[in-house]
Amino acid sequence: MKKFILDLIVKENEHINEDYFVLKLTSNDKLPHMLPGQFVEIKVENSPTTFLRRPISVNFYDKELNELWLLIQIVGNGTRKLSKVQVGDTLNLILPLGNTFSIPGDKNSRLLLVGGGVGFAPMLFLGAYLNDLGYRCDFLLGGRSEANMVQLNEFKRYGEVYTTTEDGSMGEKGYVTQHSLLQKKQFDMIYTCGPTPMMQAVASYAHKRNIACEVSLENMMACGFGTCLCCVTDTVDGNLCVCTEGPVFNITKLKWQI
């Protein structure tokens, strides 16, 4: 897909809580087409300690409204600066970057989308996308506590939502892989994005039951389009760039000990 460098307009900056916010961006021109799993590289202005762009997953893309959503967790100076943008401000983005998830041929496939922390971001877009294509999906979302459980109302539009929190403040207590849903229901395909230990646990669950599984990695990167070679992950085909060969990988390609 052709990549663009665009100045997009902030339409909304919705602060969910003190850690998470959603930027809704638009443009006077038609936004480029985006697929679930893809990401953008966003330039952070006037943040002296932020040198590189920040790679952010596409949270939602609304073709009709010409809107791009980015769900962002405040983790450092760069994301803190981004959290302060005002409606009407412009942000410079490189997009769309990376690959997408694979979609099974059978519309009756039982699909599970597992998100953890800010890894919820691509799962919403993927769920919406699958829904549009006529697939049904279940969402299994986990976080440390209730504060991490964001966008649940949006998720509910596209499927059943199951939740876990480590402290038990919402849903079942524990990790996503401990949720009772996994005992009750069979799945044909699992997609996941979240902290690496969580994705590895999900991958291990899938691998042991012979369920196809794709994970979306978020390695640190400098460029986002395959030239710095910093974001590699070790695969059966050698070191591959997460930004161009990923961020979505089938677990059979990764050298995870699962």
Given 114, 221, 248, 251, the residue binding another protein (CB under 8 A): 221
> With binding defined as CB under 8 A, does residue 82 bind another protein?
no
The DSSP letter of residue 164 is: E
Task: Using the rule CB under 8 A, give the single segment among 19-27, 121-129, 199-207, 227-235 that binds another protein.
Answer: 227-235
Find the distance separating the first CA and the last CA of the chain, reported in whole Å: 33
Given 3, 11, 80, 207, the residue binding another protein (CB under 8 A): 3
For another protein, the closer of residues 178 and 239 by Cβ is: 239
| Single-letter code of the amino acid located at 19 | D
For another protein, the closer of residues 95 and 212 by Cβ is: 95
For another protein, the closer of residues 181 and 232 by Cβ is: 232
Instruction: Report how far residue 98's alpha carbon sits from residue 55's, in angstroms, rounded to the nearest whole number.
Output: 11
> With binding defined as CB under 8 A, does residue 225 bind another protein?
yes
| DSSP codes of every residue in 68-97 | EEEEEE--SHHHHHHTT--TT-EEEEEEEE
Q: Which two tokens stand for residue 201?
A: 């646990």
Asked whether the beta carbons of 82 and 42 are under 8 A apart, the reply is yes
By CB under 8 A, how many residues form the interface with another protein?
29
Asked whether the beta carbons of 224 and 207 are under 8 A apart, the reply is no
The contact mask relative to another protein for 129-168 (x = CB under 8 A, - = no) is ----------------------------------------
For another protein, the closer of residues 94 and 111 by Cβ is: 94
Instruction: Report how far residue 95's alpha carbon sits from residue 91's, in angstroms, rounded to the nearest whole number.
Output: 12
Q: What is the CB-side half-sphere exposure of residue 153 using CA atoms within 13 A?
A: 1
Given 8, 23, 53, 211, the residue binding another protein (CB under 8 A): 53
Beta strands 39-42 and 90-97 are: antiparallel
> With binding defined as CB under 8 A, does residue 256 bind another protein?
no
Task: Using the rule CB under 8 A, give the single segment among 99-107, 140-148, 192-200, 225-233 that binds another protein.
Answer: 225-233
Q: Which residues bind another protein (CB under 8 A)?
A: 2-5, 43, 49-53, 94, 219-234, 238-239
